[in-house]
Structure 1
Amino acid sequence: MSFVVLDLEWNGSFSSKEQRFVNEIIEFGAVKTNDNLEVVDRFEMLIAPQIGKKLCSKVKKLTKITNEELRENGHTFMHAVSEFKKFCGESVLVTWGTSDILALIENYMYYAHKPELPFLTSYCNVQDYCEKCLSVNDKSSQLGLSVCADMLAINFDVEEQHRAYADAELTLKCMKHLIDDYPIDSFITDATSHDFYDRLLYKNHFITDINNPEIDKRSMRFNCDECGRQAARQSNWKVKNKSFVAPFLCKRCGRKFVGKISFKKKYDGVTVRKRIVEYYEKPADEKIESEA
């Protein structure tokens, strides 16, 4: 099985036609491997912006790409797609995280008015693969490419990062470091399946309407974390930071606590997260001051 490891650079461009910002791709960088993960070909191409006129200062500083370079050496996005399709062939497309594949789809939809990428048959999110291999379970922040390389003791030039080809090379090095011990096959997705794009483009969101039929009210019961008995809710639910919050009282042991529960709607259903926090009651003088 061969792989094409792709990285992109893009610029936040405002589209006057669609009245929204677009992550406009300005550079493709990719390496192609054989079955042994040996590099057999490479792909580099600058894209001349057609939506925005100039690069933002942050992108210029990070990538060292100039407006002049793009004007002189840049190709149209659709030309890049055509050439990349020839380069990719039937290889598995690999990206670090889903941001690059989503940017590709966004740009392709802008020009071709459809999401299905013509070169995509199989896909692997290697960030997800590396997180599982390295037992990184922090749901609040995803594993960065340079952090992963540091964890694997892979040397790289910091100055070369934020250029598409250099990041693609580093992504491949992380893969090669792990693949002998951790099979990657289960992380490869069939991009021709009927729900691939629906799943990828689905935007997870929190449910904050207590009357939403997808909320299972039975899950909103809380047991006391000290004696185990079901506690009684003391007031109506309030929404705070995308969670439902209410005070509870255990009538057996007298414990007061605050129950917090959130419902996150994902493509495959609703995930529920519950936790108990300590009950805090404002002092009387603080209540008077806040009421005043």
Structure 2
Amino acid sequence: MLYCRNNAPQTIPKGRQPMNYILLDLEWNQCPTGKQDENPALPFEIVEIGAIKLNDAREDIGHFSELIRPTLYTRLHFRTQEMLHIPAAELNRSRLFPEVFADFIAWCGEDYRFCTWGSMDLTELQRNIDYHHIENPLPLPLFFFDVQKLFSLLYEDGKSRKSLEYAVEYLKLEKPRVFHRAFDDTWYTALIMQKMNLELVKDYASVDYYRPPRSREEEIYMQFPRYSKFVSMPFTSKEEVMADKVVTATRCYQCGKMLRKKIRWFAGNSNSKVYYCLCICPSHGYLKGKIRLKKGADNCVFAVRTLKLVNEEEAAVIMEKQDAVRASRRKKKHR
């Protein structure tokens, strides 16, 4: 993977290459009386951290597992109770998040990369960090391995996102532990990661969006074997995002040529947070563009743009999508 700042491609410096992998899973509680009563600053309160440390040979070299006493949602949501089967008395005897998190970060050490099943854990970890007014010690940008995505790239179509239990069964691994407890899920994720051919997908690191780039200089450009990704700085509105020439630029990630658009950026529907375009590279053929708008802090909006070379059939899908959007607009106009 190439990681770039300010559109200057470079590989991640060797000094920053992780020596260890921290496989992390969190369990959290939510407001027991429903979403209408939740604290928007912390919809999910972490009640358990489970982690396994693997060295660069993916050998197990350490474990971390601890329950956390909740302070916001002190009564467990019924779904949390069903999944975790944690006695309330045991939670109430546990330490608070700031203490447990401090020990966890110290246990992680230096030169590591987080590995999670899916992309939610690091977001919710940082949300809990902010809620407790702890200085965020995680690197920025925060790269990690989404093992769920890597599993899909290796064994599925690269787009599907299967459950952890599905992956365990697919790889014919033993299931001596329960699912949906932090350390047990981490244990299964470690087995999957040890089983997979990581060399084939090690270039497909993910980047966490909880703290998006704060300025044009911090914007992130990532180049992968099959596509490129760009994460923008924040804007005040989606209209401002889509008017920005850097956000909407289309450059072939294989040859670097700036491409003219065969189909200009269009919204998937009237309320869409997703935009599409289609270009043609003279050397490499059709290139599909996709922009996803995401909400950041203080109601700002930032963009995640992916560009991917596609065949004629996939290009036709974009053309059909645009035709469908136009037809829908005409229909609404004549009502």
**Aligned-pair CA distance for 1:6:** 1.0
Paired position in structure 1 for 2:161: 142
Alignment partner of 1:152 is 2:168: no
Q: In the aligned structure 1, how far is the partner of 2:195 from the partner of 2:268?
A: 48
* Structure-2-length-normalised TM-score: 0.57
Paired position in structure 1 for 2:96: 76
- Identity within the alignment, %: 23
**Aligned-pair CA distance for 1:276:** 1.9
SS in 1 for 2:320: strand
Alignment partner of 1:101 is 2:129: no
* One-letter code aligned to 2:81: K
What runs of 5+ residues in structure 2 fail to find an aligned partner?
1-18, 221-229, 249-259, 275-288, 295-301, 308-316, 328-334
Paired position in structure 1 for 2:3: none
Paired position in structure 2 for 1:276: 320
* Per-residue Cα deviation, 1:151-201 (whole angstroms, up to 9, x for no partner): 2222224x610000110011111111113653525527799x994998799
* CA shift in 2, pair 1:143/1:2, >3 Å: same
Q: How is 1:1-292 mapped onto 2 (pairs within 5 angstroms)?
A: 1-13=19-31, 21-72=42-93, 74-90=94-110, 91-112=112-133, 114-117=135-138, 123-138=144-159, 142-157=161-176, 160-179=178-197, 182=200, 184=202, 187=205, 195=213, 213=243, 239=269, 242=272, 264-265=292-293, 270=305, 274-276=318-320
* One-letter code aligned to 1:104: L
Q: In the aligned structure 2, how far is the partner of 1:44 from the partner of 1:28?
A: 6
**Aligned-pair CA distance for 1:34:** 2.6
* Per-residue Cα deviation, 1:53-80 (whole angstroms, up to 9, x for no partner): 11101011011112221012x1110111
Q: In the aligned structure 2, how far is the partner of 1:76 from the partner of 1:201?
A: 34
SS in 2 for 1:6: strand
* Structure-1-length-normalised TM-score: 0.65
**Native 8 Å contact 1:94 1:123 kept in 2:** yes
Paired position in structure 1 for 2:286: none
Larger radius of gyration: 1
* CA shift in 2, pair 1:59/1:94, >3 Å: same
Q: In the aligned structure 1, how far is the partner of 2:198 from the partner of 2:66?
A: 31
SS in 2 for 1:44: strand
* One-letter code aligned to 1:155: E
**Aligned-pair CA distance for 1:238:** 10
Q: In the aligned structure 2, how far is the partner of 1:240 from the partner of 1:48?
A: 44
* Per-residue Cα deviation, 1:214-250 (whole angstroms, up to 9, x for no partner): 597x96969xxxxxxxxxxxxxx99456399xxxxxx
Query: What CA RMSD, in Å, does the superposition of the two structures yield over aligned residues?
Result: 4.7
**Native 8 Å contact 2:232 2:303 kept in 1:** no
**Aligned-pair CA distance for 1:94:** 1.5
**Aligned-pair CA distance for 1:44:** 0.8
Q: In the aligned structure 2, how far is the partner of 1:238 from the partner of 1:36?
A: 44
**Native 8 Å contact 1:7 1:168 kept in 2:** yes
Q: How many residues align?
A: 246
